[in-house]
Chain A
Amino acid sequence: MALQTIWAQKLKSFFSLIGVLIGVTFLIAVVSIVQGMNVYVESAVTDEVGGVNSFQLRQRPNFTGGDVDEAQWRSWFRRPRISYEDSEYLRERMTVPATFANYCADRVTLEYDGRRASDIELRGTEESYFDLKAYELDAGRVFVRQEVRTGSPVVLLGFEVASRLFEGEDPLGKSVKIAGIPYRVIGVVESQGTLFGMSQDKFAIMPYSAPGRRLICPLNVMDELMIRPDNPQQLDAAVGEVEALMRARRQLKPDEANNFTIETADEALEFWDKISTVLFTALPLLVGISLVVGGIVIMNIMLMAVSERTREIGIRKAIGAKRGDILSQFVVEAATLSVTGAGIGILAGLGLAFVVKALTPFPAAVAPWSIGLGVTLGILVGVVAGVYPAIRASRLDPITALRAE
């Protein structure tokens, strides 16, 4: 019956639906998008840093909040870069047992037999890198200490690079060219899949000392030194030790700031945390506002329904409807409206989230709790908005109501 009445008043019902609908759509879409971005940023950052248990010693931060001014940039670039000697120095003196990997990277083009793979990240590093990144191989082997020491022209290919250059041919032992220099392919890294639409397999890894290392880093320096304490519990101790050793090595006075950056996954995520905290604080506010607006719209619709349907209320009371009967009729109608609104809102919110997913690299991680919250809020708003008009309607005297026209 509630549905019938609502259907009969399509247009008005439609407008009152809109309020709740927008609120719920908003809630679900924003939660999904923010969560999706969270998942994205977290895995991207964690991946970049080399896992939650590792950290990097760098000349300047890799992840910065947008609020960096030019003076700050300039001061970062004036800092000394991390050198091979820094790396040796730390390895010799660190007391916390740890794994280290020098690391440098830049975009290059690879060639094989006339085929080209461009925009490939060429990484120069050492054998421990494979352990730090937990890379498994599809074929071949990783390079060894000896090859790093002698700077052998060997390379491991990312899955996509291998399949693009070799198209089914066995890449092992073949020679690829990077900027004219030939490298022997010794392994293929297992596919890392896509991270939110972007292939994670467009890279090649060579010893940092291999010929052509100048393509990615000036002589004797690196982008970063990756460090992972063997015992994850000692992450903080290791960070502290690296900081102290570097300050000592660079002879910084106690009141001088670090002229290097130590970046942990947590730190890199901090900037993102700030943004998502703002979003998550603003979110309930925005959703609250749109639901209140929706509620007011519903309440007005229901009040209108009451005065327009006074005669109906009179008829119902004349044939024996109690106050409670009228009340529940109106509450049910309001609830039906808002639940329908919430339902459509869920679909619209999901739709919006998927549109965002399709158009941006961000995944839309739909949070089940946001759907639950949407439905709960929708019903709540509807019932609250329905109760007041319903109470007014139920108090009417039957004959007064019947005379209304």
Chain B
Amino acid sequence: MQPDIIRIEGLERRYDMGGEIIHALRGVSLTISRNEYVAIMGPSGSGKSTMMNVLGCLDTPDAGSYWLNGQEVSQLTDDALARVRNKEIGFVFQTFNLLPRASALHNVELPLVYAGVSASGRSERARQALDRVGLGDRMHHRPNELSGGQRQRVAIARALVNDPSILLADEPTGNLDSNTSEEIMAVFAELHRLGQTVIMVTHEPDIAEHAERVVTLRDGRVESDRLNQESAA
């Protein structure tokens, strides 16, 4: 077995909605190894996004532990978390979340800016990352000059540019048509083949097919955790 890259235990997340407490996560425990390709499924409101945000250090849990690469993340300071988000995690959002006024190249360079990489190093690495997702010829376009699939590729290039330990994607194909979705899945498959750990939330079973392992959440708990037949075979 590969070493654990992610280990969560008894993770809880509550939202206080004006007196009414919503339990988005009710004690989730999970272990993910290096180079795994995991799909997270489950009905709407089951807590998938909440869990991904905690895994991506964008949100902090109310209870439970989270070890990333053997490091207890919930104890970290704000700046240390920023460092983890910058170096260890690549996050791909359903809505892309690109800076609208910046070119594709500048969007991809941004994590390197915060990593303190020199201007020349930034531009070279950002170009390489864009090449990897097949967008080398569009790097001076702004997001609104790109198709949805192309925008998501820019977002993937941005997520990858700092060589993160894990790639997290919350419904990366949620805003894309099925052809484009397949293209994005091909990019993920290639990244996984090259050794990238990938965790992806999806509603669609045929997208989940691409993963090796499928974790299903229901009502803030893990309902099932199984290996895909194809990949297992």
Contact = CB atoms under 8 A, between A and B. Distances in A.
A321 B114 contact: yes
Contact of B79 (A5, A315, A323): A323
A125 B207 CA distance: 109
Contacts of B85: 317-320, 398
Interface string A384-401: 000000000000011100
A320 B59 contact: no
A401 to B, nearest CB: 9
Given A399-B58, A402-B97, A318 B115 contact: no
Given A320-B85, A323-B78, A402-B58, A315 B97 contact: yes
B58 A398 contact: yes
Contacts, number: 59
A4 to B, nearest CB: 7
Given A4-B101, A5-B101, A398-B85, A319 B59 contact: no
A320 B91 CA distance: 11
A398 B59 CA distance: 7
Contacts of B102: 4
Contacts of B86: 319-320
B98 A315 contact: yes
B82 A321 contact: yes
B78 A316 contact: no
Given A8-B101, A315-B99, A320-B85, A325 B114 contact: yes
A325 B85 CA distance: 14
A318 B114 contact: no
A385 B10 CA distance: 45
A309 B179 CA distance: 33
Contacts of B158: 319
Nearest to A395: B78
Contact of B111 (A5, A320, A402): A320
Contacts of B79: 322-324
A393 to B, nearest CB: 14
Nearest to B106: A1
A316 B82 CA distance: 10
Nearest to B98: A315
B53 interface: yes
B97 A320 contact: no
A324 B53 CA distance: 22
Given A322-B114, A325-B114, A317 B59 contact: no
B143 to A, nearest CB: 11
B141 interface: no
A13 B197 CA distance: 44
Given A312-B99, A399-B53, A402-B97, A320 B83 contact: yes
A320 B56 contact: no
A323 B80 CA distance: 11
B48 interface: no
B110 interface: yes
B87 interface: yes
Interface string B69-107: 000000000110011011100010100011101100000
Interface string A286-320: 00000000000000000000000001101111111
B110 A319 contact: yes
Nearest to A321: B114
Nearest to A323: B78
A399 B83 CA distance: 16
Contact of B97 (A318, A325, A397): A318
Contacts of B111: 319-320
Contacts of A312: 99
Given A319-B85, A320-B82, A320-B111, A397 B59 contact: yes
B171 to A, nearest CB: 14
Contacts of B58: 318, 397-399, 402
Contacts of A8: 101
Given A322-B78, A399-B58, 14 more contacts: A311-B97, A314-B97, A315-B99, A317-B85, A318-B97, A319-B114, A320-B85, A320-B111, A320-B162, A321-B114, A322-B83, A323-B82, A398-B59, A402-B97
25 contacts: A4-B101, A4-B102, A5-B101, A8-B101, A315-B97, A315-B99, A316-B114, A317-B82, A318-B85, A318-B97, A319-B85, A319-B91, A319-B114, A320-B83, A320-B85, A320-B87, A320-B114, A322-B83, A323-B82, A325-B82, A397-B58, A398-B58, A399-B58, A402-B58, A402-B97
Q: Shortest 10 CB-CB distances between A and B: which pairs?
A: A320-B86, A320-B114, A322-B82, A399-B58, A319-B111, A398-B58, A399-B59, A320-B85, A322-B79, A315-B97
